[in-house]
Amino acid sequence: MSDVDITSKEMDGMGPKGTKIGLARVLGPAHVWALGVGIVLVGEYMGWNFSVGKGGAYAALIACWFAGILYSCVAMIDSEVTSTVAAAGGQYTQAKHIVGPLMAFNVGLYLVFAYTMLEAANAITFGFLIETVAGMTGHEGLDQRPFIVLAIMFLAWLNYRGVLATLTFNLVITAIAFIAIIVLFLATSPIFGASPLRHVELMTGLPYGWLGVLAAMHFGLWYYLGIEGTCQAAEEVRSPARSLPFGTLAGIMTLLIAASLTWYVCVGLIPWEYLGQAGVPLFDAARLTGSTTLMILLGIGTMFATLASANGCINDASRAWFAMGRDHYLPDWFGAVHPTFRTPYRSIIFLVPIALIFALGAPIDQVITFSILSGLLEYTFMPLNVIMFRRKWPLDSIRRGYEHPFHPIPALVLLSLCGVTYFAVFLGYGTQLVAMISFYIIVSLWFHFWRYRFVRRGAQFTMPWPRPLGY
């Protein structure tokens, strides 16, 4: 390190030859919605159905609604704190200001791993879909790997070129994927004539009892996992106080509708034994209707959902990594902003090979579990974060863009549901849960004993807030 003490604030976003460049404020509420829903909507197209295999169709519905409550709490808490702490890094930046540096470092890693693993799962699904379509057209045995690499490289290039184009692209393809779910529901419902749905014949009770319901909570998170990613846009929206709460809350409402419709259609067309292991359940449901039009539409919807999710994941993971580099929690080389495109280009490039390693070399259920566990650790932090936030800075002490109601009930509900979900994950993936927690303990020790010495402690607190209550 140099003997000259340059604060992190002065070094933040340094461009070539020391020029000062920051992220571009170009996004509106629709882009925030596209980021949050775009990341998550793929969960309606794949992944959620593993909860059916854990406990049956009714267990998956219960998991869907309880996970919906969990994520509604996440959305409300995030809307308040992020509209007040409007900076790149989202929950990492919140932890830095409200809890402390060690928690901030861990939360930053939770974010990066959750989104990077989700990106890998999306790429795997994209490759599987290409292979499936090729098989249906007589091209059996098509290699998925070039398409997985191509998808990740194209989306990384799009993110490299600018956030406005990236999230405008997400807005279009996410809207199409959501509309495809609505169309499938309307086409199979009795509203317009005879319905192919066979709920009476296909629905069963709880084949594994209430323990199956508990186990289903593991993959029930997949309906909504990633909506908290809207926080990563905080430094790039034109009006954080308006855009972040509006985009986030509209996003969770959209996902609650999409999740319920997805469950209803799929369990009415596909036996639960098959549905619980299907790779692309909505596409399979469309095929079972016998309609070529619906099959093509849901094939396009599945492809767009995976691309939108991977695209948003690259955006969010790179912002968290960038923010940690800018604050010297990681090497400050990652804190650079591109002089032309105003993007954290080094962070984007660095995370690409990590996503490719998991996309090309790991089973999808393991990748999904890695993402879920990292997200779950992050959700466990949120209740503690918002309770400390309200205690240190009461409502009348600083201006907030949004005030979530019924505090602290959402925080306590979220904490309770996280505890239930930990046990659900332990039932099926106990070894991986222990391994991940061990990993985060090891990197926490590395940060405490080595990396923290490089952090400019006085320069990392950038919010113009009064002294916390009681300090």
Q: CATH code at 208?
A: 1.20.1740.10
Task: Round to whole Å and give the CA distance between 430 and 181.
Answer: 34
Residue 37 reports pLDDT greater than 80: yes
Task: Round to whole Å and give the CA distance between 109 and 364.
Answer: 21
Q: For residue 4, is it within any domain? A: no
Mean pLDDT for 213-235 is 92
pLDDT of residue 383: 94
Task: Count how many domains the chain has.
Answer: 1
Find out whether 122 and 307 touch, Cβ atoms under 8 Å: yes
Cβ neighbours of residue 418 closer than 8 Å, sequence gap 6 or more:
70, 376, 379, 380, 383
Phi and psi at residue 27, to the nearest 5°: -100, 150
Split at pLDDT 50, 70, 90, the class of 134 is: confident
pLDDT of residue 128: 87
pLDDT of residue 20: 60
pLDDT of residue 6: 32
pLDDT in tens, 329-365: 999 999 999 999 999 999 999 999 999 999 999 888 7
Q: For residue 312, is it within any domain? A: yes
Mean pLDDT for 394-404 is 90
Residue 66 reports pLDDT greater than 50: yes
The H or E element containing residue 161 is: helix 145-161
pLDDT in tens, 437-459: 999 999 999 999 999 999 887 77
% of the chain exceeding 70 in pLDDT: 96
Task: Round to whole Å and give the CA distance between 378 and 380.
Answer: 5
Q: What angle do CA 371, 79, 26 make, to 5 degrees?
A: 90
Cβ neighbours of residue 68 closer than 8 Å, sequence gap 6 or more:
223, 224, 255, 256, 259
Q: For residue 70, is it within any domain? A: yes
Q: For residue 20, is it within any domain? A: no
Q: Which domain holds residue 284?
A: 26-397+406-457
For residue 237, the SS3 value is: strand
Q: For residue 333, is it within any domain? A: yes
Q: For residue 10, is it within any domain? A: no
% of the chain exceeding 90 in pLDDT: 74
Mean pLDDT for 419-441 is 90
Residue 54 reports pLDDT greater than 50: yes
For residue 196, the SS3 value is: coil
Mean pLDDT for 241-267 is 96
Q: For residue 19, is it within any domain? A: no
Task: Round to whole Å and give the CA distance between 387 and 272.
Answer: 41
Mean pLDDT (the chain, rounded): 90
Q: Which of 431, 383, 424 is nearest to 222 (CA)?
A: 424
Q: For residue 139, is it within any domain? A: yes
Mean pLDDT for 104-116 is 96
